[in-house]
Amino acid sequence: MEKAVLESIAQSIVQKGKGVLAADESLRSTERRFAKYNIPHTPENRQAYRDLMFTTPGIEQFIDGVILFDETIHQTTLDGVPFAEYIHSRGIVPGIKVDTGFVDMAGFPGEKITEGIDGLDKRLKEYYQLGARFTKWRAVITIGDGLPTEACLRANAYLLARFAIISQENGMVPFVEPDVLMDGAHDIKRCEEVTSRMLDLTFFELKNHRVHLEGTILKPNMVLPGKECPDQASLDAVAEATARTLRRNVPAAIPGVVFLSGGQGAKPSTERLNAIVNKGPFPWQVSFSYLRALADPACEVWLGKPENKEEAQKVFYHRASLVAAAREGKYTEAMESMVV
C-alpha cells in the first residue's frame, strides 16, 4: 500500500467546487430508469446514455470523479474510446462499483447483506488495469419494527472494512457507503440514531482492519425522516441533524464526505446539500456523489433519441452546475431557471 498515492487520489476526488457522478447503475437499475421514459433497454442505449453524460462539454468544471459499473468500464464512447480512458483524459478520476449486490441476511428477516468479497482481489487487479483508481461498496440498512439489528449493522460494517483494505492493497481509494434507507415511516430522530450507530461501527472496523483513513472517502446518507413519516423535517432540521451526526462520528482524518442523493429528487438533494455545507466549517470536504439528481432531468429530455442528445447535455450540464454550487454553499433557488 502506497499511502501517499492513495492520499493524492483521494484529494483529487474532493476538489472544491466539484463532486462525483455515480454512474454505477446495475443493469436492473438502468432497466427501471429506461422503463420510466419508455427507452428500450439495450446495450446500445445504455452506451448512448453513458456517452451522453461523460461527453457533456465542460462537465469537468463540476465533476472530478465518475463511478463506473462492470459493463460500463468495458464500454467505449460512441467514438470508440474506452470510457475510463476518455474520463481520465478530461481530468476526471475513473472509479468502479465492486460489490455484487444485496441478498437477504440469513436468520434476519427484512435485512440485507452485501456480497462480492469472494474474488474481490482478482477483480480489482483487472479494474486497475482498465483504469479505475477508486472503488465503491454499498451496504443498505433498513429501519423498521425492530430493525436494524445490531448483528446486521456489525456484519455490514465488517464487510465495508474488508472491502476497503483490499482496495487499498490494490492501490485504489475505497468509497465506503453505509446507506441508511429512506424507506419507512421512521422520524428523523430514529434515522440519526441508526446512522450514528452504523458510522460508529464502520469506523471501528476500518481502524481494526488497518485501513488508511487519509486514503478513504465516506459516502453516507443524509439524516432524513422516512418517506412515509407524517412529520417531514424542515430543511434546517435535516442540515442540523446531518452535520451533528457527522461531527460526532466521522474522524477528521477522512479527506471527504460525499453524500448520496438516495432518491430524494434533483432539487431537494441540491437544497439539502447546500444547507449542510452552510453548517460548516468541517474538518473534511463535504461534497456529493449523485446520479439520479443529475441524470433524471437529462433523461426526461433525451428519451433515448440521438437528436435530443445536445439539448439533454445542456440540461445535464446545468444540473451539475447547480449541485456544484450547493457543494460550495452558494446555491439559490433562482439559479434553477437560469439559461445554460
Distance CA 143, CA 183 (A): 7
Distance CA 223, CA 167 (A): 27
> Cα dihedral angle (287, 291, 294, 299), rounded to 10 degrees?
180
98, 106, 238, 243, 305 from 176: Cα distances, Å = 11, 23, 22, 18, 36
Question: Which one is catalytic: 97, 112, 219, 279?
Answer: 219
Quickly list DSSP for 45-60: HHHHHHHHHHT-TTGG
- Look up residue 153 and give its three cell numbers: 449493522
Question: Which one is catalytic: 177, 192, 240, 271?
Answer: 177
- Look up residue 91 and give its three cell numbers: 481530468
Q: Which of 220, 226, 224 is nearest to 241 (CA)?
A: 224
Residues ≥6 apart with Cβ < 8 Å to 262: 179, 181, 182, 221, 222, 224, 269
- Look up residue 47 and give its three cell numbers: 452506451
Spatial contact of 127 and 98, defined as CB atoms under 8 Å apart? yes
Whether 177 sits among the annotated catalytic residues: the reply is: yes
Whether 219 sits among the annotated catalytic residues: the reply is: yes
Strands 134-141 and 93-97 come out as: parallel
Distance CA 162, CA 157 (A): 9
Q: Which of 265, 248, 195 is nearest to 224 (CA)?
A: 195
Give me the half-sphere count of Cα atoms (radius 13 Å) on the Cβ side of residue 164: 31
C-alpha angle 330/297/51, rounded to 5°? 105
Catalytic residues: 177, 219
